[in-house]
Structure 1
Amino acid sequence: MIQLTNLNKTFGQNIAVSNMNMTLTEGKVMGLIGQNGAGKTTTFRMLLNFIKPTSGTITWNGQPITQNDKQHIGFLPEERGLYQKRTVEEQILYFAELHGMKRSDARIALKDWMKRLDVVGKVSDKVQSLSKGNAQKVQMIASLIFEPSLLILDEPFSGLDPVNTNLMMDEIIRLRDNGAMIIFSSHDMNNVTKISDDLTMLKRGKIVLQGPVQNIREQLGRTRVYVESSTSSAALKAIDGVTSVTPHGVGYDLILSEEEAGHRVFDLVTKNGYIPAFSQQPPTLDDIFRQEVAIHD
Structure 2
Amino acid sequence: MAQAAKPSRAASAFRRCSNVSICTGTAPDYQGRMIGDTPAPAPAYAVEGHGLVKTFGSFRAVDGIDIAVPAGAIYGVLGPNGAGKTTLLRTLLGIVDPDEGHRSLLGDPVPLRQARAIGYLPEERGLYPSMKAFEAIAFMGALRGLPLRVGRERARTMLEGHGMGASAEKPIRQLSKGMAQTVQLFGTIVHEPRLIVLDEPFSGLDAINQEKLEALIREQARKGVTVLFSTHVIAHAERLCERIAIVAGGRIRFEGSVSEARDRLRPQVRLRTRSSDGAWRRALPEDTVAQEGAWHFALPEGGIEPLLRALLDGQAGIESLSIERPGLHDAFVAIAGAAAARQMEEQQAGEQGA
TM-score by length of 1: 0.84
Q: 1:110 to 1:212 in 2, by over 3 A?
A: same
Separation of aligned partners in 2, 1:253 and 1:35: 33
Percent of aligned pairs sharing the same letter: 28
**How many residues are treated as equivalent by the alignment?**
290
CA distance in 1, matches of 2:49, 2:276: 49
Question: What amino acid is the match of 2:175?
Answer: L
1:63 is paired with a residue whose SS is coil
Gaps of 5+ in 2: 1-44, 341-354
Task: Answer whether contact 2:285 2:297 (CA < 8 A) is retained.
Answer: no
The structure in which a higher percent of residues are strand is 1
- What is the letter of the counterpart of residue 298 of structure 2? L
Following TM superposition, by how much is the alpha carbon of 1:177 offset from its aligned partner in structure 2, in angstroms?
Answer: 2.1
2:249 pairs, out of 204, 207, 211, with 204
Find the residue that maps to 1:84 and give its secondary structure.
coil
For the Cα contact (< 8 Å) 1:242–1:257, is it kept in 2? no
Give the counterpart of 1:278 among 304, 317, 322: 322
Q: 8 Å contact 1:241–1:258 — kept in the other structure?
A: no
Query: How far apart, CA to CA, are the structure 1 residues paired with 2:266 and 2:187?
Result: 42
1:291 is matched with 334
Change (3 A) 1:183 1:121: same
The structural deviation recorded for 1:144 is 1.5
**Could you say which residue in structure 1 is the equivalent of 2:70?**
25
> Which residue of the partner structure matches residue 256 of structure 1?
298
> What do residues 174-206 of structure 1 show as CA deviations (whole Å, max 9, x unaligned)?
212222222111121111011111111112111
Whether 2:160 is the aligned partner of 1:115: answer: yes
Amino acid paired to 1:186: T
List per-residue Cα deviations over 1:118-175 (Å, max 9, x = no partner). 4485111111111111111111111122221111111111232333222211221121
SS class of match (1:156): coil
Q: In the alignment, is the contact (CA less than 8 A) between 2:104 and 2:111 conserved in 1?
A: no
Q: Distance in 2 between matches of 1:233 and 1:112?
A: 65
SS at match of 2:334: helix
Cα distance in 2 for residues equivalent to 1:29 and 1:243:
38
What displacement does 1:264 show? 6.6
Contact 2:193 2:225 in 1 (8 A): yes
Q: Which residue of 2 aligns with 1:191?
A: 236
Q: How far apart in 2 are the matches of 1:273 and 1:34?
A: 41
Number of the residue aligned with 1:149: 194
Answer yes or no: is the 8 Å Cα contact 1:34–1:203 preserved in 2.
Answer: yes
Q: 1:162 to 1:121 in 2, by over 3 A?
A: same
CA-CA distance at 1:47 after TM superposition? 2.1
Q: In the alignment, is the contact (CA less than 8 A) between 2:93 and 2:105 conserved in 1?
A: no
Greater shift, 196-205 or 77-86, is seen at 77-86
Deviations 1:85-114 (A, max 9, x none): 222122111111112222222222212222
Task: Give, in angstroms, the shift of residue 115 of structure 1.
Answer: 3.4
- Residues 1:125 and 1:223: Cα distance change in structure 2 (over 3 Å): same
CA contact (8 A) 2:138 2:190 kept: no
Whole-angstrom CA distance in 1 between matches of 2:144 and 2:179: 23
Q: 1:132, 1:233 → 2: CA distance?
A: 55
Separation of aligned partners in 2, 1:202 and 1:17: 10
Whether the aligned pair in 1 keeps the contact of 2:253 and 2:336 (CA below 8 Å) is: no
Task: Give the AA of the match of 2:183.
Answer: V
For residues 30-78 of structure 1, give each alpha carbon's deviation from its aligned partner in whole angstroms, at most 9, with x where no partner exists: 1101221111000111122221111111113543235441011111122
The equivalent of 1:140 in structure 2 is: 185
- The amino acid of 1:224's aligned partner reads Q
Gap runs ≥5 in structure 1: none
Does the C-alpha gap of structure 1 residues 232 and 94 become closer, same or farther in structure 2, counting only changes over 3 Å?
farther
- Match of residue 89 from structure 2: 44
Residue type at the aligned position of 2:158:
W
Given that 1:31 and 1:192 are in contact with CA atoms closer than 8 Å, whether structure 2 keeps it comes out as yes
Name the amino acid aligned to 1:56. Answer: G
SS at match of 1:41: helix
The answer to whether the Cα contact below 8 Å between 2:83 and 2:250 also exists between their aligned partners in 1 is: yes
Instruction: Decide whether aligned partners of structure 1 residues 92 and 61 sit closer, same or farther in structure 2, where only a CA change above 3 A counts.
Output: closer
Q: 2:139 is paired with a residue of what secondary structure?
A: helix
TM-score calculated relative to the size of structure 2: 0.72
